[in-house]
């Protein structure tokens, strides 16, 4: 098994329970006597796909979506503008995002995009510190969030309430976040009540929760809760970013210009069309969360740059016998963990079918991990084995236990390697 950096999305407690199952299954597989785990190996650099194919009958690419889609507007590189990918990487302790140190000294944050990642980011920005302290969020992130001045988070989408990309469970967590209250714009919901009855069921339930949150007069208990709230969140619909402006004296973010859209067509496929109107929103922080994107790993592997996936049929890479793919690299960056699991089972099934049908030739022996080990040694690459990784894991858990967290992550590759090799 070859691993690149693993990017887990979320540090909120509920999510950790879901991940626990995934972690257990992963551990069982990694410890299997017929599985060799090679960490700290950069495929495409330390070893090529061609070399892996010489060592194994089949190679499955499952390295996810490490890149992010850029908004592509002027001002995107200003201080105070971050991609959700980097921001999530920062609070989750990804070594490559350690230096991000986002500036949280403003009152209003704008998040571009309305998917589950956008909601993760909004919740991290608005969560009471006490709740975050019990998650595996990194210590530097906790310290930065303790000093944060952010009081209001606007989650901006280019289309309408009936096209929102998040799912109901995540929206419910946002709605129930202690210390916060929603603030929406009534005009954004025009026509929604009338359209509700024709929506497919999951979309209908999601829209109902959204309507209830935005429009209904709350009951006494909820009213009391909202009165207590010190922080505000809200969706803004029918808005596309066109430019981010700096504060003239500081070269940091001061506002964002949003073009007002209308919808052409209806349902999931409705398109946002510019009306020509614009509006400016003051904000010191902009986080773009408009989706992830897979990157090519090795020039010998076919890659569809437009869709940012490896072209495949049910996981069989086109024009590349013995090469398979799964996960977001195969489908693009959509779906929850269960979707991705199903998608990987399908790839495994394709591979087994190819073995049965003889499409995948396994009649001659292949050297397997031995030859890979040799190549890596020749190149001075020292892989991390699974038991090495378990040392890192148990140290992180022990460090976490000391401060009441499930884990305290090591934040640099050097530290991790040092622990792995003791």
Ligand X SMILES: *[C@@H]1O[C@H](CO)[C@@H](O)[C@H](O)[C@H]1NC(C)=O
Ligand Y SMILES: NC(=O)c1ccc[n+]([C@@H]2O[C@H](COP(=O)([O-])OP(=O)(O)OC[C@H]3O[C@@H](n4cnc5c(N)ncnc54)[C@H](OP(=O)(O)O)[C@@H]3O)[C@@H](O)[C@H]2O)c1
Q: Does 339 bind ligand X (CB under 6 A)?
A: yes
Question: Binding of ligand X at residue 338 (CB under 6 A)?
Answer: yes
Residue 66 touches which of ligand Y, ligand X, none (Cβ within 5-8 Å per kind): none
CB of 257 to ligand X, least distance (A): 37
Under 8 Å between Cβ of 49 and 300: yes
Backbone angles phi, psi at 348, to 5 degrees: -60, -40
- Beta carbon of residue 353, minimum distance to ligand X (angstroms, whole number): 17
333 binds, among ligand Y, ligand X, none (CB under 5 to 8 A by kind): ligand Y
387 binds ligand X (CB under 6 A): no
Report d(CA 328, CA 334) in Å as an integer.
7
> Which DSSP category does 159 fall into?
S
Q: Considering only residues 116, 135, 326, 350, which one is a binding residue for ligand Y as defined by CB under 6 A?
A: 116
Angle, helix 337-357 to helix 13-30, in steps of 10 degrees: 20
135 binds ligand Y (CB under 6 A): no
**Among 225, 231, 262, 399, contact with ligand X (rule: CB under 6 A):** 225
Span near ligand Y by CB under 6 A; candidates 20-28, 30-38, 333-341, 404-412 = 333-341
Give min distance, CB of 289 to ligand Y, in A: 6
The per-residue DSSP string of 246-280 comes to: E-TTT-BEEEEEEEEEEEES-GGG-EEEEEEEEEE
CA distance 413 to 394: 16
Q: Judge whether 274 and 291 are in contact, CB under 8 Å.
A: no
Q: Which among 15-23, 224-232, 240-248, 388-396 is the span making contact with ligand X, rule CB under 6 A?
A: 224-232
DSSP characters for 315-332? Answer: TEETT-TTEEE-THHHH-
Listed in sequence order, the DSSP H helices in 95-191 are 116-126, 129-132, 139-146, 168-175
Q: Is 8 in the site for ligand Y (CB under 6 A)?
A: no
Q: Which two tokens stand for residue 123?
A: 């919740």
Q: Report how far apart, in Å, the C-alpha atoms of 111 and of each of 66, 155, 354 are.
A: 20, 5, 45
Region 14-73 residues binding ligand Y, contact defined as CB under 6 A: 15
334 binds, among ligand X, ligand Y, none (CB under 5 to 8 A by kind): ligand Y
Q: How close are the terminal C-alpha atoms of the chain, in Å? A: 23
Give the residues across from 231 on adjacent strands: 180
- Tokens 């140190």 sit at which residue? 101
Position among 8, 9, 56, 245 found at the interface with ligand Y (CB under 6 A): 9
Residue 127 engages ligand Y in binding (rule: CB under 6 A)? no
Instruction: Return the residue of 13, 101, 342, 387 that touches ligand X, per CB under 6 A.
Output: 342
Selected from 64, 75, 157, 160, the binder of ligand Y by CB under 6 A is 157
The verdict on 57 binding ligand X (CB under 6 A) reads no
The span from the CA of 87 to the CA of 98, in Å, is 10
> By CB under 6 A, is residue 224 in contact with ligand X?
yes
Nearer to ligand X, 104 or 229 (CB): 229
Residue 64 interacts with which of ligand X, ligand Y, none, CB < 5 to 8 Å by class = none
Beta-bridged to residue 23, according to DSSP, are none
Of ligand X, ligand Y, none, which one sits near residue 170, judging by CB under 5 to 8 A according to partner kind?
ligand Y
Q: Which residues of this chain interact with ligand Y, rule CB under 6 A? A: 9-10, 15, 112-118, 120, 157-159, 163, 165, 167, 170, 240, 289-292, 333-336
């Amino acid at each position: 098994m070859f691993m690149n950096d693993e990017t887990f999305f979320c540090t909120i407690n509920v999510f950790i329970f879901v991940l626990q199952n995934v972690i257990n299954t992963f551990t069982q597989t990694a410890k299997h006597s017929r599985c060799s785990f090679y960490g700290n190996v950069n495929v495409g650099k330390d070893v090529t796909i061609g070399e892996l194919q010489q060592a194994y009958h089949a190679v499955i690419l499952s390295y996810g979506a490490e890149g992010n889609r850029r908004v592509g507007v002027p001002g995107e590189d200003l201080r105070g503008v971050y991609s959700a990918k980097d921001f999530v990487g920062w609070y989750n302790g990804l070594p490559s995002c350690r230096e991000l140190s986002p500036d949280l000294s403003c009152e209003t944050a704008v998040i571009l995009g309305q998917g589950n990642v956008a909601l993760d980011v909004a919740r991290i920005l608005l969560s009471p510190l006490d709740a975050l302290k019990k998650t595996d969020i990194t210590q530097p992130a906790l310290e930065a969030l303790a000093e944060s001045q952010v009081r209001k988070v606007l989650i901006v989408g280019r289309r309408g309430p009936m096209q929102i990309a998040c799912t109901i469970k995540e929206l419910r967590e946002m709605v129930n976040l202690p210390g916060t209250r929603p603030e929406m714009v009534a005009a954004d919901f025009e026509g929604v009540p009338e359209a509700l009855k024709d929506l497919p069921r999951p979309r209908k339930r999601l829209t109902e929760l959204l309507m209830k949150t935005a429009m209904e007069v709350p009951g006494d208990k909820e009213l009391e809760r909202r009165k207590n709230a010190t922080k505000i969140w809200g969706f803004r619909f029918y808005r596309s970013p066109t430019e981010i402006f700096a504060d003239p004296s500081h070269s940091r973010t001061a506002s964002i210009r949003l073009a007002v859209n209308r919808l052409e067509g209806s349902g999931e496929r409705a398109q946002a069309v510019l009306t020509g109107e614009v509006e400016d929103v003051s904000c010191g922080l902009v986080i773009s969360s408009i989706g992830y994107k897979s990157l090519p790993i090795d020039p010998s592997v076919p890659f569809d740059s437009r869709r940012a996936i490896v072209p495949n049929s049910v996981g069989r890479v086109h024009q590349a016998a013995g090469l398979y793919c799964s996960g977001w690299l195969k489908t693009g960056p959509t779906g929850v963990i269960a979707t991705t699991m199903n998608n990987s089972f399908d790839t495994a099934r394709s591979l087994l079918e190819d073995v049965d049908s003889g499409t995948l030739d396994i009649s001659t022996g292949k050297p397997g991990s031995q030859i890979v080990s040799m190549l890596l040694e020749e190149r001075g690459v020292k892989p991390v084995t699974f038991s090495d990784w378990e040392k890192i894991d148990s140290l992180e858990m022990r460090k976490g236990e000391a401060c009441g967290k499930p884990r305290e992550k090591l934040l640099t590759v050097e530290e991790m390697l040092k622990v792995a090799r003791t």
